[in-house]
Amino acid sequence: MSSFNAQKARTKYALPMWVDAFVRKTLELSADEIGAYFLLLSAMWGREECSLPDDDRKLARIARATPQTWKRRIRPTIEPFFEVAEGNWKNDRLSIEAVKTEKFLKSQSARKGGGDQKNEAVARHGGARMTPTETQEKSGKSLKNKEPPPTADASTEVPGRYPFQETKSNNNSDDKSSSLLSARSARDDDGYEDFLKAHPKPRETDRGREAWDRAVRGGCQPADLTAAARRYATASATYDRDKVKFSDNWLCEAAWKNFPPPKDDRATRQQKLEFWAAKIKGGRVFGLTEQMKFECLQAGLVTEAEINNATSEGA
Whether residue 60 lies inside any domain: the answer is yes
CA 93 to chain centre: 26
Helix (H, G, I), strand (E, B) or coil at 233: helix
Secondary structure (DSSP) of 201-227: S----HHHHHHHHHHHHTT--HHHHHH
Whether residue 174 lies inside any domain: the answer is no
Helix (H, G, I), strand (E, B) or coil at 129: coil
Shared-domain flag, residues 155 and 6: yes
Strand 83-85 to strand 88-90: parallel, antiparallel, or no bridges (unpaired)? antiparallel
* pTM value > 0.85: no
Other C-beta atoms closer than 10 Å to the C-beta of 217 total: 8
Helix (H, G, I), strand (E, B) or coil at 262: coil
Shared-domain flag, residues 123 and 237: no
pLDDT per residue as tens, the chain (315 positions):
468 888 888 888 888 888 888 888 898 899 999 999 999 999 989 888 899 999 999 999 999 999 999 999 999 999 999 999 889 999 988 899 889 888 888 888 888 776 555 555 545 545 555 555 555 555 554 545 555 555 444 444 444 444 444 444 455 555 555 554 455 445 555 789 899 999 999 998 989 999 999 998 888 888 899 999 999 998 888 888 888 999 999 999 999 898 888 765 455 778 888 888 888 888 766 667 777 788 888 888 888 888 888 776 544
Residues ≥6 apart with Cβ < 8 Å to 186? none
H helices of the chain, where?
6-11, 19-25, 31-45, 56-62, 67-69, 75-78, 92-124, 132-139, 173-188, 192-198, 206-217, 222-235, 247-252, 269-281, 290-298, 304-314
| Domain span holding position 219 | 191-258
Whether residue 165 lies inside any domain: the answer is no
Shared-domain flag, residues 98 and 206: no
Shared-domain flag, residues 74 and 196: no
Shared-domain flag, residues 132 and 93: yes
Burial 134-168 (b: 16+ CB within 10 A, else e): eeeeeeeeeeeeeeeeebbbbbbebeeeeeeeeee
Whether residue 264 lies inside any domain: the answer is no
14 touches 162 (CB < 8 A): no
C-alpha span between 100 and 10 (Å, rounded):
10
Whether residue 177 lies inside any domain: the answer is no
Shared-domain flag, residues 18 and 122: yes
Tell me, what DSSP letter sits at residue 193? H
